[in-house]
Chain A
Amino acid sequence: MAATASAQPGLWALLTPKWRGALARLRQERSGSRPKLLLLALVGGTFWTGIFGIAYRVLRYIQRVADIGDLLAGKMLGIILLAFLTILLLSNVITALSTFFLAKDLDLLVGAPVASTRIYLAKLGETIVHSSWMVALLALPILSAYGIVYSGGPLFPVIAAAAFVPFLVLPAVAGTIVTLLLVNIFPARRTRELLGLIALGALAVVVILLRIIQPEQLARPEGFRNFVDYLAVLRTPTSPLLPNEWATAMIMNWLLRIADPRPVLLLWGSAAAAVVLGALAHRALFEPGYSKAQEGAERKVRRPLRGPLGVALRSLPPDKREFMLKDLRLFFRDNTQWSQLILLGVLLVIYIFNIKSLPIHSGERIPFSLVTIISFLNLGLAGFVLAAVAARFIFPGISLEGRQMWLLRSSPLDPRAMLWSKYWMGTAPLLLLALAITILTNSLLRVSPFMMTIAVGTITLYTLAASSLALTFGIYYPQFGSENAAQIPTSFGGVVYMMASLSLLALVIMLEAVPVAAHLRAAQRGHGTTLTPDLLLALAGVALLLVLSTIVPLRLGASRLERMEISSGKVEPE
């Protein structure tokens, strides 16, 4: 009667539901509205072209630097891949927790007579795809620039892929092993809550490491005692034991026509060994860990959270007030959510510390134009931080309603009231943060009152627009089925949102920088401080662009929310 115990399903068969599901989603997207696809192509195309353009120009410039150009290019690739490696490590731990311990298909797989190694390999493949696709997409234009600038030839894509695949596998295996260990020490639900703190620790270490390495000193050779010291720093791998150096060496060896098989062997050998090690760890630790993952639900409430906040929101109608209170409760009771605030705090302190340590006002008088350039760069950096914070906290707003949408949609709650609550719940603290960063950093840079006014005005309007975009992209690309809130911002929609908000930021700075800089130069030369028509036009243009970028997405979001159909926790196609 029973099937033979030795008959094992193929790896491909185990992955069938996943890739079939992905194909079905892709078909659904493709059959979606044409303007949406057009917008997607436009935003994606602009972003990719931008990244490729920057990488190409920087590489062309570096290549021309006599003697050390190639070394600098290699060093830059090493640092970029180190950043990727850090992101991949974190993202793999978060993803592995979902794919190995919280996914819905696990009961079926674990209950079936499937060998542990096959489950491991199938789930490892799934983890790699989920956690690495964004890094792979980002690497594509950068590696293309390297291939073109250094004339890598038609085989370069194959070499780059051969270097990149084991580079993606290694952190994925590390992520799965860390997750296996964590789940065996803490139940999965608690591990998920610990992840915020782990991410915080890991990122803080990386940022502090970067501050110790000080990559910016590579751009200032005059800071070294002599040229030999500088060359020594360039020749030494930043981290010889990490795969980013091996991948860099493999790619650069090909581009510089150096025959050295060591990086290839190191990459592929260690990737293969890591997979074997991961499978062994999985065989020993998965079953007890999976059993523990079913336990650990929290029962008692730590903070009832009424009192002062309830009083503060008392003037609102009951539906809006309880909706906001509900969101606050869910946020502060979910450690994966609030622990990100600590992370944000650490990053902000480092950001402000870096601005403070810029050698602008330390010694000799530096050109006025440099301060202006730096204050615009600061505006860009602050905008980037705000867009990323909005991606983390505002973009998931609608997705987090998830399977409870039935309650909201069957009640007489106006979808616009829901949108209003979500928008201001996210935007109010973000605006406070934006103003605090801008005022503090511009005070440290000692910019003129005029520049301060421009920066504060721009960042205020940009924050309103970035929040609006985050919320609306979250409505258009909801992740109702997500088992892990930390994964929502790195979903496809989250990445498209980041591209859109960063493109908007670049446009704002481009529109504003030239006339404002001209005005500041004229004012410094004593040519009067009257506002020229050019300047007024640029400022009005920026204001109009940002106001439209706030209102139009919110309207689209409200209309989409009204039309949204939920069928058993999943959005129906329109």
Chain B
Amino acid sequence: MIRLSDLTKRYGKFTAVDGISLHVPRGELFGLLGPNGAGKTTTMRMIAGILRPTAGSISLAGIDLLARPLAAKARIGFIPDRPFVYDKLTGGEFLRFAAALYGQQGPAVEKRIDELLELFELAPWKGELTEAYSHGMRQKLIICGAFVHRPELIVVDEPMVGLDPKSARLLKDLFRQFVDRGGTVLMSTHTLEVAEVMCDRIAIVHRGTVAAQGTLEELRRQTDSGHGSLEDMFLKLTGGLREHQLDSVFEG
């Protein structure tokens, strides 16, 4: 479903993503882990078609994103890390607009908007301007927006930020059901517990490259971690905290 080949992004002399190659088959929930600044968000934004790669290729459902961007984008629902929406549109209008961007309209879309808003407990807010929504409500609204046009693939950057425990649980169930019905999810996060519970396979990104990838078992083998947790593997690959650094914060 997603195939990245030698994906690279440079900003001047700084290389944010350095030759990442990945394959995510249909029906899989794939997690992209990494410390802050590892290049996860840049990778997600390239897959969503918002940033152009400096080199390499992206194929979505067999369609080359760079050669046929509109056809490839029609398959995706993108959920960014920060929920920016139009302040002066109501929740209902925002979702109608999001569906129209994918060429969808009519009673089927209206029904789906109502279902999604009901699911995320936003139905009472459907007719209110989003400027009155809280951060979490906006986050839920853009999740509804990503699902409104029935995508084949969800690309989601830090999905749990700003969600209350109930909504976070709902989102986990939603992603799992979506994947069980043949959908694909590519999720970036640095919440290791979320990745450990939800993801079928994981790639750990460090300094713009893939340090390791596979199932939890495969990662343990690759990192010689025995029965260690994902956190242990993560710290082993990305460099752990040094005690003298902690000391220096509180002393002198």
B183 within 8 A of A: no
**Residues of chain A contacted by B89 (CB below 8 angstroms):** 326, 329-330
Kindly supply a per-residue 1/0 record for chain B positions 71-90, scoring 1 wherever the CB is within 8 Å of any chain A CB and 0 otherwise.
10110101011101110111
Q: A322 contacts which of B45, B71, B97, B129 (Cβ < 8 Å)?
A: B97
Q: A333-B88, A406-B80 are in contact. Are A299 and B128 (CB under 8 A)?
A: yes
Instruction: For residue A356, give the distance in angstroms from its CB to the closest CB of chain B.
Output: 39
B108 within 8 A of A: no
Asked if residues B88 and A330 are in contact (CB atoms below 8 Å), the reply is: yes
Interface segment out of the listed A342-350, A462-470, A565-573: A565-573
**Residues of chain B contacted by A405 (CB below 8 angstroms):** 50
B100 within 8 A of A: yes
**Residues of chain A contacted by B145 (CB below 8 angstroms):** 407
**Residues of chain B contacted by A220 (CB below 8 angstroms):** none
Asked if residues A412 and B85 are in contact (CB atoms below 8 Å), the reply is: no
B70 within 8 A of A: yes
A contact set with B: CB distance below 8 Å: 297-301, 317-319, 321-323, 325-326, 329-330, 333-334, 402-414, 563, 565-569, 572-573
Q: List 14 A-B contacts (CB under 8 A).
A: A297-B129, A298-B132, A300-B128, A318-B105, A321-B100, A325-B97, A330-B88, A404-B84, A406-B80, A406-B84, A411-B101, A412-B70, A567-B50, A569-B82
**Residues of chain A contacted by B41 (CB below 8 angstroms):** 568
Nearest B-chain residue to A31, judged by Cβ = B12
Q: A298-B131, A299-B132, A563-B52 are in contact. Are A334 and B100 (CB under 8 A)?
A: no
**Residues of chain B contacted by A565 (CB below 8 angstroms):** 50-52
Asked if residues A409 and B86 are in contact (CB atoms below 8 Å), the reply is: no
Asked if residues B128 and A317 are in contact (CB atoms below 8 Å), the reply is: no
Q: A317-B103, A318-B104, A412-B73 are in contact. Are A297 and B131 (CB under 8 A)?
A: yes
Asked if residues B86 and A572 are in contact (CB atoms below 8 Å), the reply is: no
Q: A323-B100, A412-B102, A414-B70 are in contact. Are A403 and B51 (CB under 8 A)?
A: no
**Residues of chain A contacted by B52 (CB below 8 angstroms):** 563, 565
Instruction: For residue B156, give the distance in angstroms from its CB to the closest CB of chain A.
Output: 12
3 smallest beta-carbon distances between A and B, as pairs? A322-B100, A403-B84, A411-B101
Asked if residues B131 and A567 are in contact (CB atoms below 8 Å), the reply is: no
With A297-B131, A333-B88, A569-B82 known, 20 other A-B pairs at CB within 8 A are A297-B129, A298-B129, A299-B132, A301-B128, A318-B100, A318-B105, A319-B103, A322-B105, A325-B97, A405-B50, A406-B48, A407-B85, A409-B49, A410-B49, A410-B50, A410-B80, A411-B73, A412-B71, A568-B82, A572-B11
A408 to B69, CA, bound (A): 13
A321 to B101, CA, bound (A): 10
Asked if residues B78 and A406 are in contact (CB atoms below 8 Å), the reply is: yes
Asked if residues A404 and B85 are in contact (CB atoms below 8 Å), the reply is: yes
**Residues of chain A contacted by B228 (CB below 8 angstroms):** none
A573 to B54, CA, bound (A): 13
Q: A329-B93, A412-B74, A568-B82 are in contact. Are A318 and B51 (CB under 8 A)?
A: no
Instruction: For residue A439, give the distance in angstroms from its CB to the closest CB of chain B.
Output: 35
Asked if residues B103 and A412 are in contact (CB atoms below 8 Å), the reply is: yes
A282 to B246, CA, bound (A): 41
Number of A-B contacts (CB under 8 A): 110
Instruction: For residue B175, give the distance in angstroms from its CB to the closest CB of chain A.
Output: 18
A117 to B101, CA, bound (A): 49
A298 to B88, CA, bound (A): 9
B contact set with A: CB distance below 8 Å: 11-12, 41-42, 45, 48-52, 69-71, 73-74, 76, 78, 80-82, 84-86, 88-90, 93, 96-98, 100-105, 127-129, 131-132, 145
Nearest B-chain residue to A331, judged by Cβ = B88
Asked if residues B50 and A406 are in contact (CB atoms below 8 Å), the reply is: yes
**Residues of chain B contacted by A318 (CB below 8 angstroms):** 100, 103-105
**Residues of chain B contacted by A326 (CB below 8 angstroms):** 86, 89, 93, 97
**Residues of chain A contacted by B96 (CB below 8 angstroms):** 322
Instruction: For residue B94, give the distance in angstroms from its CB to the closest CB of chain A.
Output: 9
Asked if residues A410 and B73 are in contact (CB atoms below 8 Å), the reply is: yes
Nearest B-chain residue to A301, judged by Cβ = B90
**Residues of chain A contacted by B131 (CB below 8 angstroms):** 297-298
**Residues of chain A contacted by B128 (CB below 8 angstroms):** 299-301
Asked if residues A300 and B101 are in contact (CB atoms below 8 Å), the reply is: no
Instruction: For residue A486, give the distance in angstroms from its CB to the closest CB of chain B.
Output: 15
Nearest A-chain residue to B105, judged by Cβ = A318
Nearest A-chain residue to B93, judged by Cβ = A329
Q: A410 contacts which of B42, B48, B86 (Cβ < 8 Å)?
A: B48
**Residues of chain B contacted by A563 (CB below 8 angstroms):** 52
Instruction: For residue A543, give the distance in angstroms from its CB to the closest CB of chain B.
Output: 35
Instruction: For residue B25, give the distance in angstroms from its CB to the closest CB of chain A.
Output: 22
Asked if residues A407 and B70 are in contact (CB atoms below 8 Å), the reply is: no
Q: A300-B128, A410-B73 are in contact. Are A404 and B50 (CB under 8 A)?
A: no
A402 to B93, CA, bound (A): 18
**Residues of chain B contacted by A403 (CB below 8 angstroms):** 82, 84
Instruction: For residue A305, give the distance in angstroms from its CB to the closest CB of chain B.
Output: 9
Nearest A-chain residue to B42, judged by Cβ = A567
Asked if residues A411 and B88 are in contact (CB atoms below 8 Å), the reply is: no
Asked if residues A567 and B90 are in contact (CB atoms below 8 Å), the reply is: no
**Residues of chain A contacted by B98 (CB below 8 angstroms):** 407, 411
Asked if residues A408 and B101 are in contact (CB atoms below 8 Å), the reply is: yes
A414 to B69, CA, bound (A): 9
Nearest B-chain residue to A28, judged by Cβ = B12
A333 to B128, CA, bound (A): 13
Instruction: For residue A18, give the distance in angstroms from its CB to the closest CB of chain B.
Output: 23
